[in-house]
Amino acid sequence: MQHRIGIFDSGVGGLTVVKEILAAAPPCREIVYFGDCLRVPYGEKSSEELIEISREIIGFLLSKNVGSIIVACGTISSKIFDRVKAMIPAGIGLFGMIEPGVSGVLQTTKTGKIGIIATEGSVKAQTFENAVRKALPGAEITAIACPSFPEIVEAGLIDSPEADRAAARYLAPLANKNIDTLLLACTHYPLLENSIKKALPPNVALVDPAKFLVQNLPAAPTNNNPQHQFYISGKKQKFDQITQTILNLNPNSKITRP
């Protein structure tokens, strides 16, 4: 179906993208989401591992007759997106997190002093950083890995003392950088927005790429009864709990799980 979108990520992080799509008015797209809870986090996995994971999940999403796929993972978007492109049949749309992240930074920063927080894999790949530098020559960029953020989210510790302590520890190096914009280059990170804000000066704006990705999706006809499907690997109890916390679901939207 042309307006059915497949979305995947490790665990619940990609639900931040789902949330933005569901918030769009009028409702028009059906979502098939795959959360790879069994293999979370992706941040320290090798490119070879990520290629095999992506091939497996993309094959599953294509079997659900999606018309486009969103790679709702900063690590895959930054490390192997070109390889993912080769897995997509002609006529199927593909979206990653790099371009919307850069778009958000360009629309937000006034000083060109930018922070990027991401997984270790994304920081080492420097794809987000290089894309921002290309679009904004002369930008002063500080990129920091926050490897425990996904685990904190997956454990359901959103808005917890553990999250506050981790944010304070990771973001301390930004204190003297005078950034005005912080790019959240992992889809898990917007779920820790409150803890991140506590660790930063109040003038720093947070950029969630999902908000800008949704702006670039092609128009679709209104669908007042979208039938969403959510699938996971691994245990689903935590996924269920976190899904209900994150998503304010349309009462007409049917959520199914295997």
163-169: average pLDDT: 98
Token pair 């919307």: residue:
100
Q: Active-site residue among 28, 37, 146, 186?
A: 186
252 pLDDT tier (thresholds 50, 70, 90): very low
* pLDDT tens profile 28-54: 789 999 999 999 999 999 999 999 999
Instruction: Report phi then psi at 210, rounded to 5.
Output: -60, -35
Alpha carbon distance 142, 163 (integer Å): 21
51-80: average pLDDT: 97
The CB density around residue 1, as the number of other CB atoms within 10 Å, is: 11
Better pLDDT: 111 or 219: 111
Q: All domains of the chain, ordered by start, with CATH?
A: 4-96+212-246 (3.40.50.1860), 98-209 (3.40.50.1860)
Q: What is the DSSP string of 136-182?
A: STT-EEEEEE-TTHHHHHHTT-TTSHHHHHHHHHHHGGGTTS--SEE
What is the structure's pLDDT at 249? 57
Which residue, 182, 235, 155, 209, is CA-closest to 19? 209
3-class secondary structure, 13 = coil
Mean pLDDT is lowest, of 117-131, 165-179, 184-198, 234-248, for: 234-248
Say how many CA atoms lie within 13 Å of 186 toward its Cβ.
Answer: 32
State how far Cα 195 lies from the chain centre. Answer: 18
25 pLDDT tier (thresholds 50, 70, 90): low
239 pLDDT tier (thresholds 50, 70, 90): confident
37 counts as catalytic: no
218 pLDDT tier (thresholds 50, 70, 90): confident
Q: What is the dihedral of CA 34, 36, 38, 40, to 10 degrees?
A: -160
Which residues pair with residue 9 across a beta bridge? Answer: 35
User: Percent of the chain at pLDDT above 90?
Assistant: 80
Q: Active-site residue among 28, 37, 73, 146?
A: 73
What is the structure's pLDDT at 103? 98
8 Å CB contact between 139 and 112: yes
* pLDDT tens profile 177-192: 999 999 999 999 999 9
186 counts as catalytic: yes
What is the structure's pLDDT at 194? 98
Task: Write down the mean pLDDT value for the chain.
Answer: 92
Residues 6+ apart with CB under 8 A from 130: none
